[in-house]
Amino acid sequence: MNRNTKINLLLLLVVAALAVLPLALGLGDHKEEPFTGADGEAETAITEIEPDYEPWFSPLYEPPSGEIESALFSLQAALGAGVLAYYFGLHRGRRQGEQRALERVTEEAAAGAAEQSKADRV
């Protein structure tokens, strides 16, 4: 197993642990809704500190359920990951293409120099 494979497996194990450990250790058991987002936590904290607080803005679209809200958030995350993956893949492909073109030019120049020295000897 090469070094990159070992690193990838270790990273996969860490990601899996980060996903499973909070559930296995029961880190959200003391809450009514254990794994709500930061928005819900912030709203609770603000209403505890200042009960008369009125938000400045309201959402443009309020999803009818938490499942739809989670699905839209997941879609947004997937689109963002796709854009980043496309950018990095494109950047790497261009770099590899430039490197291959440079190698080809170098090989052609070396072959041309070898043929020229053969012609000079004759």
pLDDT in tens, 5-42: 999 999 999 999 998 888 888 777 777 766 677 777 88
**DSSP 8-state assignment for residue 59:** -
Q: Which two tokens stand for residue 115?
A: 């043929």
pLDDT of residue 54: 86
Give 59-76 pLDDT, tens digit per residue.
888 888 888 988 999 999
pLDDT of residue 83: 97
**Of 74, 88, 86, 80, the residue nearest 37 (C-alpha):** 74
Output the CA–CA distances (angstroms, integers) from residue 114 to 27, 40, 101, in the order listed: 71, 73, 20
pLDDT of residue 34: 67
pLDDT of residue 122: 64
- Measured at the CA of 67, the angle between CA 63 and CA 71, to 5 degrees, comes to 85
Is the pLDDT score of 113 beyond 80?
Answer: no
- Please compute the mean of the pLDDT values over residues 46-56 and round it to a whole number: 89
Is the pLDDT score of 81 beyond 80?
Answer: yes
Give 87-104 pLDDT, tens digit per residue.
999 999 999 999 999 999
